[in-house]
């Protein structure tokens, strides 16, 4: 069960040379967390391992963004996105995340590796604005139709581009 954490306005940030690395099983349970992930998240290694990666999900992130992520990586595609995460104390931090599937010798997905680095401030502003629009659409649509509504906003903004093209252009 995800712990109840109240978001604050306190921001943490990665150093210019820092990389957060984590690995999850196909269900999203954390198998590995590097020391920077542990320090920035505020959770101990024991609190992270075996837990769903959404333990750090910030409520400002639209559900539809994560649906796109999971659909992409489950299909064997790399996924790149700006993500707002929440630490154990409620503070937040933005990352530019690259998530890739890991395969066994039979080409079955056995895990996912995520590498996150410090994003550019202008890209964070653009992503935050988009996510705010997506969240508003999700909220207006209600729980049953939220993901479709957020996805519709994203599709309109992409205007024929892939999400990766959009993210890399920010």
Question: What's residue 160's pLDDT?
Answer: 83
CA 134/CA 66 separation, integer angstroms: 12
* DSSP state at residue 68: H
Q: Are 51 and 28 in contact (CB under 8 A)?
A: no
Q: Which residues are bridge partners to 20 per DSSP?
A: 116
* Phi and psi torsions of 154, nearest 5°: -60, -45
Q: Which of 102, 131, 139 is nearest to 23 (CA)?
A: 102
Q: What is the pLDDT of residues 70-108, one digit of tens each?
A: 999 999 999 999 999 999 999 999 999 999 999 999 999
- What is the rounded average pLDDT of the residues 8-37? 97
- What is the rounded average pLDDT of the residues 119-136? 94
CA 92/CA 89 separation, integer angstroms: 9
Question: What's residue 7's pLDDT?
Answer: 96
Residues above pLDDT 70, as percent of the chain: 99
Whether pTM > 0.95 for this model: the answer is no
User: 53-67, 124-138, 156-170: which has the minimum mean pLDDT?
Assistant: 156-170
């Amino acid at each position: 069960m995800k712990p109840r954490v109240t978001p604050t306005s306190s921001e943490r940030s990665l150093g210019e040379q820092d990389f957060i690395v984590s690995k999850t099983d196909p269900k999203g349970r954390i198998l590995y967390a590097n020391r920077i992930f542990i320090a920035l998240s505020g959770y101990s290694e024991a609190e992270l391992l075996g837990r769903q990666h959404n333990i750090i999900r910030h409520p400002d992130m639209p559900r539809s963004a994560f649906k796109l992520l999971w659909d992409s990586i489950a299909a064997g595609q790399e996924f790149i996105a700006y993500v707002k995460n929440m630490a154990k104390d409620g503070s937040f931090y933005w990352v530019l995340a690259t998530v890739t599937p890991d395969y066994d010798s039979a080409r079955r997905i056995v895990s996912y590796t995520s590498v996150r680095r410090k994003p550019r401030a202008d890209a964070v502003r653009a992503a935050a604005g988009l996510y705010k629009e997506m969240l508003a659409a999700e909220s207006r649509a209600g729980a049953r139709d939220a993901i479709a509504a957020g996805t519709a906003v994203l599709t309109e903004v992409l205007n024929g581009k892939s999400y990766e093209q959009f993210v890399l252009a920010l």
